[in-house]
Amino acid sequence: MKEIAMITGATSGIGKATAEVLANTHRLIICGRRLERLEELRSNLHSQTDVVTLNFDVSIQADVHSAIQSLPTEWVNIDVLVNNAGNAHGLAPIHAGDLKDWEAMIDINLKGLLYVTHEVLPNMIERKTGHIINVGSIAGIEAYKNGNVYNASKYAVDGLTKSMRHDLTEHNIKVSEIKPGAVNTEFSEVRFKGDKARADKVYEGFLPLSGQDVAEAIAFIVNSPYHVNIADLLILPRAQSGATTVHKNK
């Protein structure tokens, strides 16, 4: 029987693409806040594999607990957890930052990852098997102007991933991180509060990564041999050499 992969933030971007790619090899638990999108994705994938949906917000610990505890018995043995849920809110110098934006990034990017992992890990440890893939960012290894709290949240994911690997290796659990550069998803539109014109300018003049590109890399990590752990993978579009260094055609 196929292994079970659980993907957070599966309603768009990298998470949605990851679900579509892993449907070829895994049964899926797809998670997200937007129920209609979850159901649409489940409908699109059900002919390829078995799919269960969980509708919750990763930043609300009680909802994370309730949702994951509601899984039917035949779905509790999660083999792969892709901690993808996360986003950026605002782009401002530290003295002009919006506290609500700061809280949203910390609650989703860091605390949400912790809440979900805390629910899934006991079963993996009991079975002495599992694989956790955290979706970080180039922003977690290279700070940039006005990135402050988003940078901090992704640096935290990087540090947490390394520490988790130390904690979990003895339990036969692999821990990996993938760090994308510029990916053309809803990321910039969310960061700029729905200003699509401003968001589109981020990706003008070069070919950014797509969610599919990152999903294929995640699938490579997931489907690597049992004894192999792709611990850390930085993935950039060809035109990008740093967090804010992109060669654009004029």
Of the two residues 48 and 191, the one the predictor is more confident about is 48
Which residues, at least 6 apart from 153, have a Cβ–Cβ distance to it below 8 Å? 86, 105, 106, 109, 110
Whole-number pLDDT of residue 145: 97
Tokens describing residue 28:
């899926």
Question: 32-37: which pairs have CB atoms within 8 A and are 24 or more residues apart?
Answer: 32/8, 32/85, 33/57, 37/11, 37/12
Question: Domain containing 217 — which CATH number?
Answer: 3.40.50.720
Q: How far apart are CA 222 and CA 5, in angstroms?
A: 9
Domain containing residue 141: 4-246
Average pLDDT on 114-132 reads 98
Per the annotation, the verdict on 150 as an active-site residue is yes
Give phi and psi for 46, each to the nearest 5: -65, -20
Work out how many domains the chain is built from and give that number: 1
Whole-number pLDDT of residue 222: 98
Query: Which SS3 state, helix, strand or coil, does residue 93 take?
Result: coil
Nearest alpha-carbon partner for 231 in 112, 134, 90, 122: 134
Selected catalytic residue, list 150, 155, 203, 226: 150
Confidence of residue 200 (pLDDT cuts 50, 70, 90): confident
Q: State yes or no: pLDDT of 184 exceeds 90.
A: yes
Whole-number pLDDT of residue 190: 85
Burial pattern 101-116, b for ≥16 Cβ within 10 A else e, equals: bbebbbbbbbbbbbbb
Whole-number pLDDT of residue 102: 97
Record the pTM.
0.96
Whole-number pLDDT of residue 195: 81
Q: State yes or no: pLDDT of 152 exceeds 90.
A: yes
Which residues, at least 6 apart from 100, have a Cβ–Cβ distance to it below 8 Å? 89
Whole-number pLDDT of residue 180: 98
Rounded to the nearest integer, the mean pLDDT of the chain is 96
Give the tens place of pLDDT for each residue, 63-110.
Answer: 999 999 999 999 999 999 999 999 999 999 999 999 999 999 999 999
